[in-house]
Amino acid sequence: MESRGSCPAHPASYEGVWRFTAPAVDVSVPRARHAVRDLLDRQGVPVQDDILQGLLLIVSELVTNAVRHAALLSPELAVEVAIDAEWVRVSVEDSHPYRPTALETDHARTGGRGLLLVREITAQAGGSCDVEHTAGGGKVVWAALPLKTQL
């Protein structure tokens, strides 16, 4: 069997892509976070605890944003978890066309900093994040983190 680049010839047993949908309501935030944690546990993903905690906070922030800002045009959201040998990527998709941006830090505000937090957690872990448009006119907000802390 031929190996391409740095991809192993045989994927690790925990690798794969999982997707689930949820209504765009508040209760979906903790449910999505628990579903992602349970998936990583079930699959035996060797993720470091600091990365796991950051990833779960990112899931909470992305689902919260979809619930708060997209529910009117997108009554359902989708969460996808993609895992390979070195990375885990979480994304939240909704049908709302608005492309959010990370807001500047404003210490007087008590909210509105979710994407800024996602960007900070991602950068500290050595990962990446972005927002992409979908073919159907909605968007996907995603973050990819290494399974191990980058030195």
Domain ranges of the chain: 16-146
Q: What are phi and psi of 129, to 5 degrees?
A: -150, 160
Report, at the CATH architecture level, how domain 16-146 is classified.
Answer: 2-Layer Sandwich (3.30)
Tokens of 47: 């993720």
pLDDT in tens, the chain (151 residues): 344 445 556 677 899 999 999 999 999 999 999 999 999 999 999 999 999 999 999 999 999 999 999 998 999 999 999 999 999 999 999 999 987 765 444 455 555 578 889 999 999 999 999 999 999 999 999 999 999 876 5
Q: Pick the closest to residue 95 from 133, 60, 139, 29 (CA basis).
A: 139
In this prediction the pTM is 0.85
Does an H or E element contain 32, and which? Answer: helix 28-43
